[in-house]
Every structure is written in C-alpha cells, then in structure tokens.
Chain A
Amino acid sequence: DVKVTQSSRYLVKRTGEKVFLECVQDMDHENMFWYRQDPGLGLRLIYFSYDVKMKEKGDIPEGYSVSREKKERFSLILESASTNQTSMYLCASSYTTEFYEQYFGPGTRLTVT
C-alpha cells in the first residue's frame, strides 16, 4: 500500500512563529503536492514539486515556501505564521505518468493564535 505520512496531525503555533510541516511518501513518486483545505473552498494548491530540488508555485503560494532535498520528503514552511494560515494542510504524491492519481496523507490541522 502507498503510504503518505505527515509529521503532525494537530499543531498550534503563535503568530510570527516559523512553522515546518513535513511529508514523507514511500512509493518513489516523482511528484509531491501541498494543499490547504478550507470549508467551502475545497483544496487549493500551494506548491508542488516534480523532482528533487525542483518546485513550482501553485494557486496560493503567498506566505509559504517549500523544500525538497530528498525524493521521498517534501516540506512546507510558513516563514512567519499568521492567523489567516489557520487551516487543514494536506500533502499528496503521484507518479508523473499521465492521469495517475494522487495519494494523500492524513492532514495536519494547524491553528495559529
């Protein structure tokens, strides 16, 4: 079974803190994705990576950065957390093969106070 794991299920941080969310996949997938999920908005893509050290902005990259130093690991960084970044964060991975589905981690619910 494909497994995508995320470092924390729940996280509470203060405004201005630097926050790291980690994601690890065990299927040797080339592509990895970070989404945020908010009620009524579905999932919105923050960043994705198609290879080690390669990254592309998604639809809402402002306030976020990412790092992919190893193929299996993709980190999302909030340089200075703000209350409007309180959300559910979901990581996913996929092969590059056309129309191959994405596999999702369990999510990290981040609260910024």
Chain B
Amino acid sequence: AQSVTQLGSHVSVSEGALVLLRCNYSSSVPPYLFWYVQYPNQGLQLLLKYTSAATLVKGINGFEAEFKKSETSFHLTKPSAHMSDAAEYFCAVVSGGYNKLIFGAGTRLAVHP
C-alpha cells in the first residue's frame, strides 16, 4: 500500500534562506507524486507533480522537487524564502485507481524577517 511521511510538522526559516520540506513515500509501483500548498483559509493548490518524465521537477513560485528512487524521497526546495511562502505544504502519492491521493500530515512553513 502507498503511504507518505512528511518529516517535520513545523519548519521555520528566515526570509531569503533555503526552504527544504521533506517527503518520503512508500509505494509498490512506480509512484506519481504531488506537492500542494494551502494558504490560510483556502483550498489546496498544486505546486508541482512528478510523473516519471524527469527526476527534477519545477513548479510554481520558484519551488522544485527532486525524485530520488534510491531514497524513496521527493523533497521540496526553494532557494530563497519569501514572506508570502508562509503556508501549509502537503505531499501526496497516487494510490489505486481514479487518481486517488494519499496525503502526508502536512508541514507548516513559517517565514520570519
């Protein structure tokens, strides 16, 4: 069965610092992986997705993620944090048919001046 683990429920960085949000997956088949972002009082918005075309995936707002099969990881990074990046981030893996998703518990990112 597929599953997702996000390490760190809260991450705090300074503005301009590197953002690294960790996601490890478990999957018995080649995984399709997603990162979503949720701003306060909003629904989830797709940041990027991995569909086996390329291991380094670029998304919106300067985020990217690298798929590492050997480490079963799909960590999200951004070189320089901005105050507007403060949000909750969810990693997800497709599980079963109909594009059902299994979500991680989420990581809340705080950006301080």
Query: CB within 8 Å of B: which residues of A?
Result: 4, 9, 31, 33, 35, 40-45, 48, 50, 56, 58, 90, 92, 94-107
| Docked-complex contact A96 and B98, CB < 8 angstroms | yes
| Contacts from B to A (Cβ < 8 Å) | 9, 32, 34, 36, 41-46, 49, 51, 90, 94, 98-101, 103-106
Assuming the A-B contacts A40-B105, A50-B98, are A99 and B49 also in contact, with contact meaning beta carbons closer than 8 angstroms in the complex?
yes
Specify which of A48, A50, A90, A94 is in contact with B44 (CB 8 Å cutoff): A90
Prevailing SS type, chain B contact patch: loop
Number of A-B contacts (CB under 8 A): 63
Give A45 to B103 CA distance when docked, in angstroms: 9
Q: Which residue of A has the minimal Cβ distance to B6? A: A42
Chain A residues, Cβ within 8 Å of B105: 40-42
**Contact (Cβ within 8 A) B32 A98:** yes
Closest Cβ neighbor of A30 among chain B residues = B98
Residues of B within 8 A of A105 (CB): 43
Other A-B contacts than A90-B44, A99-B51, A103-B46, 19 sampled, CB-CB below 8 A, are A9-B41, A31-B98, A31-B99, A35-B103, A40-B105, A42-B103, A42-B105, A42-B106, A43-B90, A45-B100, A96-B98, A99-B99, A100-B99, A102-B44, A104-B36, A105-B43, A106-B42, A106-B43, A107-B42
- In the complex, the answer to whether A4 meets B98 with C-beta atoms within 8 Å is no
* A48-B100, A94-B99 known; A101+B49 contact, CB < 8 A: yes
Instruction: Enumerate the 8 nearest inter-chain pairs by beta-carbon distance, A residue then B residue, closest first.
Output: A104-B43, A99-B32, A42-B103, A104-B44, A43-B103, A42-B105, A99-B51, A106-B43
